[in-house]
Amino acid sequence: MPRYSRKKSATNIYHVILRGINHQEIFYDTQDYQKFLKEINHTKEEYQYELYAFVLMNNHVHLLIYDKKQCLSNIIHNLAIRYSLYFNKKYKRCGHLFQNRFLSKEVESESYLLNLQRYIHQNPVKEKIGKIETYQWSSYQDYIGRTKNADTEFILALFHKEKKQAIKLFKKFNDIFIKSNDIEYEIRKFYTDEEAIQIIQQVLKEENLMDIQNYNKTIQKQVVKKILTIQGIRISQIERIIGINRKMIQRVAKEN
């Protein structure tokens, strides 16, 4: 299966999701969370990027990155390797800790940026593991002045030029809960091809999606039905990714 090149952001701002392989937990205790934050600070020094927002969940991480040196893949690869080495040694395990390719989405508008940071900060609420204002492992704590891991100046300036007023407006904005059915990228409608490939691979438990072309018609139909249940994936993407005729996919979609 060919790899699709990542889309470049005109602003150099990206939303990144780094997931544990097979949805495996990547944080077991406080030391693990602290170690990941330490490695974030290490990579920030090395690659000179800014971290506008983040949240560390039990089996995945959301990062909102301003990649001014245009080296996003190096940043995430370095971060993942450094933390994986620590994790594997501590828990006496071997092999990959993270999903092969991280998900990334370019951020190219102010409204999207503001809604995205809110989405990131509200993750603990959505997964019912904590409140936005008290969850320890999110950059929300940086915005309200309790910690100093994220780079908060740029986003706060979008709310108000005076810091105290900006923080007040920031809190008010983040208190408005985002409602949506799409768990992964719920503030937008569709996935990129790269993201869709990874999601379909997970759902079907199939590494080489082009092999689906070799299935008999009955099995192909069952597979397409399953893919069509995934929100945010278009018929044109399914055609490109699994190489099955669009008319056949459309017929199956009409039957659902």
Taking the chain (256 residues) in runs of 10, the rounded mean pLDDT of each run is: 62 93 92 98 96 97 95 96 97 89 86 89 91 96 95 96 95 79 43 79 85 90 88 81 88 80
pLDDT in the model for residue 188: 46
pLDDT in the model for residue 108: 85
Given a contact cutoff of 8 angstroms between Cβ atoms, the answer to whether 194 and 103 are in contact is yes
pLDDT in the model for residue 183: 35
Per-residue b or e along 130-165, where b marks 16 or more CB atoms closer than 10 Å to that residue's CB: eebeebebbbbbbbeeeeebbbbeebbeebeeeeee
The C-alpha atoms of residue 250 and residue 229 are separated, in whole angstroms, by: 13
Given a contact cutoff of 8 angstroms between Cβ atoms, the answer to whether 30 and 37 are in contact is no
Given a contact cutoff of 8 angstroms between Cβ atoms, the answer to whether 25 and 11 are in contact is no
CATH superfamily to which 13-174 belongs: Transposase IS200-like (3.30.70.1290)
How far is residue 43 CA from its own chain's centroid?
18
Given a contact cutoff of 8 angstroms between Cβ atoms, the answer to whether 102 and 76 are in contact is yes
Given a contact cutoff of 8 angstroms between Cβ atoms, the answer to whether 239 and 249 are in contact is yes
pLDDT in the model for residue 5: 56
